[in-house]
């Protein structure tokens, strides 16, 4: 009897094994088996959830080049004026991420689409769309694009970079070297890093990660284990491995809000001019280390003046985070929105007090004086005779009207009547745009402008 029962069960056991083998060979079984075997890790889940919203961006454009570099400014200018301006076609590849699928809004790095005349976006499903730049912030290295798709697109969720922990897991998705949707993972290595991004230009308050980031990853998302975007990949150390950087998503939120509403970033203004501490000043304030910034000047009728700031006070912290130096202060200020209340801790009269300052938009009427102080010249609107003299298109530039006697602009040979076609990466066809760009760039140590005389154009960097 026992033997009969065992014999009766053996066909059932054999049938079960046969079905298991058939399912193992069937399409779709590997994914199910992976779930059962625990191979669907948090990284796999994040990639499945977010990869459809990561896009490949290709940009093409033309840029002016300087064909002769002798080291002598006068000789170089002679050759440019003799041979005329030269241009070269350039292209770039990068990544982006869809933050609003209904509106087709995509975030990427500004340098990916800089000076591009044609931008194409390829989605994860291989569909391609022409993209339009809604606005760009070269100083923050972020740009907002829009594509017109026939239906809603996948999108990501934005996290909170203020809650990041050193050591927590992160995932980067992008298109390094044109290899679409490459995934790397690592940890948050450090926070609040400062990285040089060009001559006289720095990117501040970055997230450092050891998730592999290569050329082409720029503009792609850095994600946490919950699948939220906590940063936008932007930079690498060319001679190092395992060191990459991302722009915190909280700064992205502020910049994208301005770009979507105004097409540009509206610079916040507190009205403080500051200087770094040296060991002697630190000792004067009873500090063991030279940390913090000293108030050198308070602009009249500014938000800081209204909040009671005075010359000679020491700022210790901003938004409840200690300040290291003036570059640290400027980095924090770039993350402040107009209308935001800013908390600043001050050492005044031997007491530590906290003041609340309401950030306002930088008053454009101050921009001309800022240009006079920082750049060493004033400008006026372009006239018809200016266009004829320089063989330029009417309404394509502003004109230098006056040079400050002790300025570097005068020393390097700029003259009244020269055209200023660009501040940073933005064309300046009139005074209003020039003023806005000076307001945006006023926090940088140095400002690059594009100057034209006759047919020759040249980029010049000025400031302290």
Alpha helices in 26-137 (DSSP H): 29-37, 42-50, 73-83, 110-113
Same domain, 218 and 182: yes
Whether residues 222 and 258 share a domain: the answer is yes
Alpha helices in 26-149 (DSSP H): 29-37, 42-50, 73-83, 110-113
Q: Determine, yes or no, domain membership for 2.
A: no
Considering 333, 361, 389, which residue would you say is the last residue of a domain? 361
SS3 25: helix
Q: What crossing angle do the helices spanning 2-25 and 29-37 adopt, rounded to 10°? A: 110
**Which residue from 251, 233, 112, 122 is spatially nearest to 180, judged by alpha carbons?**
122
Name the helix (H) or strand (E) containing 17. helix 2-25
Residue 8 lies in a domain: no
The DSSP-derived string for 30-45 is HHHHHHHHT---HHHH
Set 111, 189, 212, 302: catalytic member: 111
Among 220, 235, 262, the domain-final residue is: 262
Known catalytic residue at 141: yes
CA Rg, the chain, in Å? 28
User: Do 260 and 105 form a contact (C-beta atoms < 8 A)?
Assistant: yes
* Residue 25: inside a domain: no
Task: Assess contact for 382 and 359: CB atoms under 8 A.
Answer: no
- CATH number assigned to the domain comprising residue 433: 2.30.42.10
Note whether 386 and 312 are same-domain residues: no
Residues 196 and 252 occupy one common structural domain: yes
CATH of the domain at 167: 2.40.10.10
Is residue 7 included in any domain, yes or no?
no
Let me know whether 250 and 280 are in one domain: no
Q: For residue 351, list its beta bridge partners.
A: 348
φ, ψ (nearest 5 deg) of residue 299: -65, 135
pLDDT value of residue 83: 52
Q: Which residues pair with residue 64 across a beta bridge?
A: 87
Predicted confidence pLDDT, tens digits, the chain (464 residues): 444 444 444 555 554 555 454 544 455 545 555 555 578 888 999 999 999 999 999 888 665 555 555 555 455 555 555 555 555 665 678 899 999 999 999 999 988 888 778 899 999 999 999 999 988 887 788 999 999 999 999 999 999 998 999 999 999 998 866 667 889 999 999 998 877 766 556 677 899 999 888 777 889 999 999 999 999 998 666 666 678 899 999 988 888 888 877 777 788 899 998 888 888 888 888 888 888 899 999 988 899 999 999 999 999 999 888 888 887 888 788 778 888 899 999 988 888 999 999 999 888 888 898 899 889 999 999 999 999 999 888 999 999 999 999 899 999 999 999 999 999 878 899 999 999 888 888 777 788 899 999 888 888 988 76
Q: Is residue 72 part of a domain?
A: yes
Among 361, 383, 406, give the residue marking a domain's end.
361
Q: Which of 218, 302, 396, 457 is catalytic?
A: 218
SS3 content of the chain, % helix, strand, coil (to 5): 30, 40, 35
Segments forming the whole domain that contains residue 454: 364-463
CA nearest to 224, candidates 314, 151, 161: 161
Beta strands per DSSP E along 265-350: 268-269, 272-276, 293-298, 314-318, 321-322, 341-348
Would you say residue 21 lies in a domain? no
Examine residue 196 and state whether it is found in any structural domain, yes or no: yes
Asked if residue 434 lies in contact with residue 379, where contact means CB atoms within 8 angstroms, the answer is yes
Note if 218 is an active site residue. Answer: yes
Catalytic residue among 58, 95, 137, 141: 141
Domain count, the chain: 4
Same-domain status, 440 and 452 = yes
Is 301 among the domain residues?
yes
- 258 and 284, same structural domain? no
Told to judge if 258 belongs to the known catalytic residues of this protein, a careful annotator would answer no
């Amino acid at each position: 009897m026992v033997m009969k029962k065992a014999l009766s069960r053996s066909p059932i056991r054999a049938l079960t094994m046969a079905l298991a083998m058939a399912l193992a060979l069937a399409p779709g079984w590997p994914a199910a088996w992976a779930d059962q075997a625990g191979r669907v890790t948090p990284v796999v889940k994040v990639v499945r959830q977010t990869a459809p919203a990561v896009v490949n961006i290709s940009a093409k454009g033309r840029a002016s080049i300087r064909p002769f570099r002798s080291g002598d400014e006068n000789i170089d200018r002679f050759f440019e004026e003799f041979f005329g301006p030269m241009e070269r076609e350039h292209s770039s590849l990068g990544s982006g991420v869809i933050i609003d699928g209904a509106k087709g809004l995509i975030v990427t790095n500004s340098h990916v689409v800089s000076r591009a005349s044609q931008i194409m976006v390829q989605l994860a499903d291989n569909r391609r769309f022409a993209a339009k730049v809604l606005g760009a912030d070269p100083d923050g290295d972020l740009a907002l694009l829009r594509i017109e798709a026939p239906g809603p697109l996948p999108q990501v969720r934005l996290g909170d970079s203020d809650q990041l922990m050193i050591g927590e897991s992160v995932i980067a998705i992008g298109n390094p070297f044109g290899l679409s949707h490459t995934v790397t993972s690592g940890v948050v290595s450090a926070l609040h890093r400062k990285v040089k991004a060009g001559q006289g230009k720095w990117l501040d308050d970055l997230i450092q990660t050891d998730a592999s980031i290569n050329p082409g990853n720029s503009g792609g998302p850095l994600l946490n284990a919950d699948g939220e975007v906590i940063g936008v990949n932007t930079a690498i150390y060319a001679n190092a491995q395992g060191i990459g950087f991302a722009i915190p998503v909280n700064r992205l939120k502020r910049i994208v809000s301005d770009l979507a509403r105004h097409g540009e970033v509206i610079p916040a203004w507190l009205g403080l001019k500051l200087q770094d501490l040296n060991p002697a000043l630190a000792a004067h304030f009873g500090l063991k280390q030279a940390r913090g910034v000293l108030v050198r000047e308070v602009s009249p009728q500014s938000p800081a003046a209204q909040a009671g700031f005075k010359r000679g006070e020491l700022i210790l912290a901003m938004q409840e985070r200690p300040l290291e130096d003036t570059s640290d202060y400027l980095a924090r200020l770039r993350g402040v929105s107009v209308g935001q209340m800013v908390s600043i801790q001050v050492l005044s009269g031997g007491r530590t007090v906290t003041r609340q300052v309401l950030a306002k938009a930088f008053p454009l009427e101050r921009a001309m004086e800022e240009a006079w102080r920082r750049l060493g010249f004033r400008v006026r609107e372009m006239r018809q005779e200016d266009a004829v003299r320089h063989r330029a298109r009417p309404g394509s530039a502003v004109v230098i009207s006056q040079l400050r006697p002790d300025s570097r602009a005068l020393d390097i040979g700029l003259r009244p009547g020269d055209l200023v076609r660009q501040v940073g990466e933005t064309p300046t066809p009139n005074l209003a745009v020039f003023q806005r760009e000076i307001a945006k760039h006023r926090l940088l140590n140095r400002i690059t402008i594009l100057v034209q005389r006759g047919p020759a154009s040249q980029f010049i960097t000025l400031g302290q």
